[in-house]
Structure 1
Amino acid sequence: MVRKTGTQRREDSLSRDRIIEASIELLDSSGEGGLTFRALSERLATGAGAIYWHVANKSDLLTAACDAVIARTITSCGVGERPAATIRALALGVFDAIDAHPWVGSALTQAPGQSPMVRILEPLGQQVRALGVPDDEQWAAVGTLLNYMLGVGGQNAANGQFGRARALDRTDFLDAVATAWSQLDAQEYPFTRSIAAALRSHDDRADFLAGIDLILRGITSPRR
């Protein structure tokens, strides 16, 4: 009869997937600063040594948690017959994922060459290629889409965190900013004054998709 060692028993009772899901919960509730092996050990009712059996360090854990979120996001988006529609779905999926998990944006930038980023890059690249973009222009097209998605998605998530931390009502906040803009000097800030009213009722997701559509029109426009 072969007896299991203590290390083997810990491995059997605690899976990597379970650790990752608990990490996502911690990150969602407490942010990146709240993800510690001590907090994770308490949540999982285990010792730090059992967790280290599955993950090397906090950076590895953060990347794995980010990868799990992005993998689910990409799978849920699916791939359609129309490349532009698929790109819009992928972009909106990433936008919503970062909005729901604000730490994901930062985690993606910390692991540019690892799986989470590649999961986004690959389907984007395939759809840009399907649009008929020449080989020498594909990197610029994909890079523009990717930077827009992560930049705007990250800023939107940061705005949400800012509002929640200060218990701000979105409607009241936008109304106050719009009122301030409408009172600017008409000769010095003519454009800002002109869009003040639109700021009050704008939709973040709709604005994001409008930007994606602008990029797609540029990508697919006739080339001279």
Structure 2
Amino acid sequence: MATRTARRTGALSKERIVEAAIGILDTDGEGALTFRALSARLATGSGAIYWHIADKQALVAAATDHIIAGVMAGLATPRAPQDAIRAVALGVFDALDAHPWMGALLSSDPWQRAVLRILENVGRQVQALGVPDDALFNATTALMNAILGIAAQHAAAARLPRDTERSAHLTAMAGEWAELDPAEYPFVRQLAAHVPGHDDREQFLAGINLVLTGIESIRERSPR
């Protein structure tokens, strides 16, 4: 019996469990991820899953870390620091676009392993830019806030009804903005025309570039 148990738990690796969980999350959302559903997908008992994963929260965290680790591993090609930072940022953006359920976790738990992976990669590149030590924390966290801010947006989008199309949602929002009081919201009304057709990825990268421009100015002002 001990031999059979060891063989079964060895065959059902944590990686297999995490990959199966990602499949459920991508297809049906976080609400559909239960250990019963996971057991059915893996054709095993829940006890074998608990051997590797303590609970659902740990499972979603492991799934998020698995995806982010893959993103970071794919960025190994040497490149200029600013380009490397853009690559990290866009890698996270694209991962969130493919797996919007990650948004809630990334935006709510800043100390989880997945966030630390992003921080490590971004921080090394900020150092490589020559940012002085006393400005490293502010420069790196500004970039992290810009990168993880998109996670909150994806988390909100994940809560929309699954049949809600992006274009319809943005058009409706722009219409509401356009009807605001012109005396109280002149600027918001001006932006309304740009909302429906904007490109989220392009907008995100523009924000990253603005932060990088600010970081470059810090480096240039620092004594040589």
Same-fold call, TM cutoff 0.5: yes
What's the counterpart of residue 189 of structure 1?
185
Match of 2:210 among 199, 206, 214: 214
The gaps in structure 2 that reach 5 residues or longer are none
Q: Distance in 2 between matches of 1:166 and 1:37?
A: 23
Mapped contact 1:133–1:219 kept (Cα < 8 A): yes
For 1:194, the aligned partner's letter is Q
Question: Which deviations, in whole Å up to 9, do the C-alpha atoms of 1:3-53 show, x marking residues without a partner?
Answer: 852321212331221111001112222333322211111111101111122
Q: Identity of paired residues, percent?
A: 52
The answer to whether structure 1 residue 124 and structure 2 residue 132 are counterparts is no
2:167 maps to 1:171: yes
| Matches for 1:46-61 after TM superposition, within 5 Å | 46-61=44-59
Q: 1:102 touches 1:154 (CA, 8 Å); kept in 2?
A: no
Q: Determine which of 35, 38, 41 is the counterpart of 1:40.
A: 38
Q: Post-superposition shift, 1:159?
A: 2.4
Given the superposition, is the C-alpha separation of residues 129 and 175 from structure 1 closer, same or farther in structure 2, using an over 3 Å criterion?
A: same
Q: Which runs of 5+ in 1 are unaligned?
A: none
Q: Which residue of 2 aligns with 1:66?
A: 64
How far apart in 1 are the matches of 2:163 and 2:30? 21
What is the CA deviation profile of residues 66-124 of structure 1, one whole-angstrom value per residue up to 9, with x for unaligned ones?
11100111122334321111111110111111121122222335653342122111110
- Are 2:101 and 2:154, in contact at CA under 8 Å, matched by a contact in 1? no
- SS of residue paired to 2:44: coil
Distance 2:167 2:76 in 1: 34
In structure 1, what is the equivalent of residue 26 of structure 2?
28
Which amino acid in structure 2 is aligned with residue 21 of structure 1? E
Q: Which residue of 2 aligns with 1:81?
A: 79
Q: What RMSD in Å do the two structures reach over aligned CA positions?
A: 2.1
Rounded to whole Å, the distance in 2 between the matches of 1:14 and 1:166 is 32
* Cα distance change of structure 1 residues 114 and 167 upon mapping to structure 2, 3 Å threshold: closer
Residue 170 of structure 1 aligns to which amino acid in structure 2? R
Paired residue total: 220
Cα shift readout 1:143-192 (whole Å, capped 9, x = no counterpart):
11112211223313522541xx1623333332333233333333322211
TM-score after normalising by structure 1 = 0.88
Q: Which moved more, 1:34-43 or 1:147-156?
A: 147-156
Q: TM-score, normalised by structure 2?
A: 0.88
- What amino acid does structure 1 have at the position aligned with 2:102? V
Aligned to 1:152: 150
Give the Cα separation in 1 of the matches to 2:172 and 2:69: 39
